[in-house]
Structure 1
């Protein structure tokens, strides 16, 4: 028998983003278990903002109006959780995690928190960041269990935030490979006419698209470069492209709710981030059989592309499943791009991507989630049955 009659899931919002998408995927993947065992499932959103993701219909969704304020979150969440009386609550993202832990000790339920980013990199400096890190250090160790999205995130929590190793479990994000392929087959009207390589993500400093552009300019890549995404660095990046005389070859196609047709048609995928929690875009590209070039940032790329953590490199390194480069090294990224100019290497790493993607399937995620939430499968739960 399972000990849980009701479970609450808490996240800041369902705005566009990787954590929000994974939360909805989690609820879909676990639907058959929760419904079979008649567990009441609540999804609590702290902020009333436009939603880019949809949770499954079986979930009881409750939206608060905390406007991003931690104190308001505490005032509104406490009476709600007291009323719902869950035996367990799982939260995503820092603000939700801190509230979940504090309230679990006051209300007597188990708090499981999921850390989606490399916490040290996420709060690099300044007074506000210093306060946030101190609050994380005060709350996270008191969680019943911590789910880390990568081994790098796990190591950071243990080394820098006093979380005990036996309380942390790594659970990689889930990927529905069949669904990604299906969406990649949708038709789009703005594909470049020339062959191209691609990078995707928010156009912000941490994603370091300026490095991608510099490396592209240094390389002998014959294809064009496509960049998908939007953000406050867009103007500066376009100026950089113009300065390098690449206006005819670099295409900014904006944010795409379905990036997969663009990735599918690309020759290969490049990620030049300074920091990640677990880079969804890399695995999604691998699900589509795309070879990958990535910087060896904290956290995730090394685990995905080499199967190892930690991994220290000083130059472009062809790894087991993809091409790794030191962070902020344009020459190394250019070398990796030139390496994939060879059709034999491109074909070899495309095949390795397809192989590696299997390690991030929905079923493996479901098994890890069952263990983390201490759910006991019955005979009917031994196989994963997709929702719908």
Structure 2
């Protein structure tokens, strides 16, 4: 690292195809590398977005590539020291690997990223924690800490805490008491022009009324709700397809659920798509069925493509959709989801109205404004 550029370090678990990872990638693509030098620390050097990183970003990983090496490192550096209460060993290893000094250090995701960055010798660095999720409704990070008090202690090692929505901030403060640390709400960067351009890259043909959903196939996203939705729509003799775009640990279970209900004709698994936007653009409805979110990125992307959106009530959804002003917010039960979808299938004029409202909401996404706000967080 040379010159008078400010040195920025981001810590992230992986670059798999999740929303927070996509947001980080979009931010790094727009960073001013004439002013900043950026290094990305990964816990695991894997993910579909690795190859998309700007060449200016230096990448360093805590674990090596390869299953055998990963298991060996995990046992020697983490599991065995923990078993024998030698917790200083993984911390020493982390500081040996990430010994560079930076001006600003950012744990860009809750959980492991926050924990491991807090291990680092801070020096004079300003340290920022980023929270992307409602930690009351989805406290998945508890697996990384012995107690809630320990997790609270780690957050107290930071100079600022940034939340992607007011709801995620409210949930955090309900869960943890970190008085005295400045907090900020910073909505995710939504690259409207890029999304619209990529939506035109190729054409996707649909055969019938189509719903689409994009996300990692994991418990939090509740894609099983869409399978049950499909079963109900078929029972009520609707002609439709549901496209599920993404990969994840629940893929086989979801496929089995579809098979058990003989829904293969109606529900299609399209896998991870580097460019999902033409699929979203082709569909009639974008549906988000998540149990918990922070600031649902794919909902914003669907709005950019002027889609009618149906979204379960979760953190950030009202900030995006208002009180069903720019889309339809539904409760988390199967009946509410079904009735929301049914209302748009049965009423084409309502569908068009919601799409027009989405168009009005989309113009409020300003990536230059968000990047300016992120620079302010770094500089202040």
TM-score range relative to shorter protein: 0.7 to 0.9
Say if 1:123 and 1:133, in contact at 8 Å, map to a contact too: no
Q: CA deviation at 1:130?
A: 6.1
Which of 9, 26, 49 in structure 2 is aligned with 1:52? 49
Match of 1:346 in 2: 351
Partners of 2:353 and 2:178 in 1: CA distance? 40
Partners of 1:122 and 1:205 in 2: CA distance? 10
Match of 1:163 in 2: 178
Partners of 2:150 and 2:363 in 1: CA distance? 37
Indicate how the Cα distance of structure 1 residues 114 and 246 shifts in structure 2: closer, same or farther if over 3 A, else same: same
Listed as ranges, the gaps of 5+ residues in structure 2 are: 65-69, 79-86
Which of 189, 202, 208 in structure 2 is aligned with 1:194? 208
Does residue 258 of the first structure (1) align with residue 272 of the second (2)? no
The size of the alignment, in residue pairs, is 352
SS at match of 1:359: coil
SS at match of 2:228: helix
Indicate how the Cα distance of structure 1 residues 80 and 367 shifts in structure 2: closer, same or farther if over 3 A, else same: same
Match of 1:383 in 2: none
Q: CA deviation at 1:166?
A: 6.2
Match of 2:372 in 1: 367
Match of 1:100 in 2: 117
Q: CA deviation at 1:87?
A: 1.9
Partners of 1:96 and 1:134 in 2: CA distance? 17
Which of 210, 216, 225 in structure 1 is aligned with 2:242? 225
1:245-284 matched pairs, under 5 angstroms: 245-284=262-301
Indicate how the Cα distance of structure 1 residues 42 and 233 shifts in structure 2: closer, same or farther if over 3 A, else same: closer
Q: TM-score, normalised by structure 1?
A: 0.81
SS at match of 2:363: helix
1:115-149 CA-partner distances (Å, limit 9, x unpaired): 12223344359x84662644321111331111112
Which of 234, 244, 261 in structure 1 is aligned with 2:251? 234
Indicate how the Cα distance of structure 1 residues 163 and 347 shifts in structure 2: closer, same or farther if over 3 A, else same: farther
Partners of 1:331 and 1:306 in 2: CA distance? 22
Partners of 1:238 and 1:42 in 2: CA distance? 39
Indicate how the Cα distance of structure 1 residues 212 and 75 shifts in structure 2: closer, same or farther if over 3 A, else same: same
1:247-306 CA-partner distances (Å, limit 9, x unpaired): 322222222221111111000111111112222111111111001111113x22222111
Partners of 1:158 and 1:201 in 2: CA distance? 27
1:76-116 CA-partner distances (Å, limit 9, x unpaired): 4424554x321211121222222323435x52321011112
1:104-253 matched pairs, under 5 angstroms: 106-123=122-139, 128=143, 131=146, 133-164=148-179, 167-187=182-202, 191-219=205-233, 221-253=238-270
SS at match of 1:347: helix
Q: TM-score, normalised by structure 2?
A: 0.82
Indicate how the Cα distance of structure 1 residues 285 and 339 shifts in structure 2: closer, same or farther if over 3 A, else same: same
Say if 2:295 and 2:316, in contact at 8 Å, map to a contact too: yes
Q: CA deviation at 1:241?
A: 3.1
Partners of 1:50 and 1:177 in 2: CA distance? 24
SS at match of 2:171: helix
SS at match of 1:40: strand
Indicate how the Cα distance of structure 1 residues 234 and 373 shifts in structure 2: closer, same or farther if over 3 A, else same: same
1:65-104 matched pairs, under 5 angstroms: 65=63, 74-79=91-96, 81-82=98-99, 84-93=100-109, 94-103=111-120
1:319-378 CA-partner distances (Å, limit 9, x unpaired): 111111111x11111111121121221111112222223333312311221222135xxx
Indicate how the Cα distance of structure 1 residues 212 and 132 shifts in structure 2: closer, same or farther if over 3 A, else same: farther
Match of 1:313 in 2: none
Partners of 2:278 and 2:149 in 1: CA distance? 43
Listed as ranges, the gaps of 5+ residues in structure 1 are: 308-318, 376-388
Indicate how the Cα distance of structure 1 residues 74 and 206 shifts in structure 2: closer, same or farther if over 3 A, else same: same
Partners of 2:360 and 2:225 in 1: CA distance? 28
SS at match of 2:156: helix
1:12-31 CA-partner distances (Å, limit 9, x unpaired): 23233222222222122222
Partners of 1:73 and 1:184 in 2: CA distance? 45
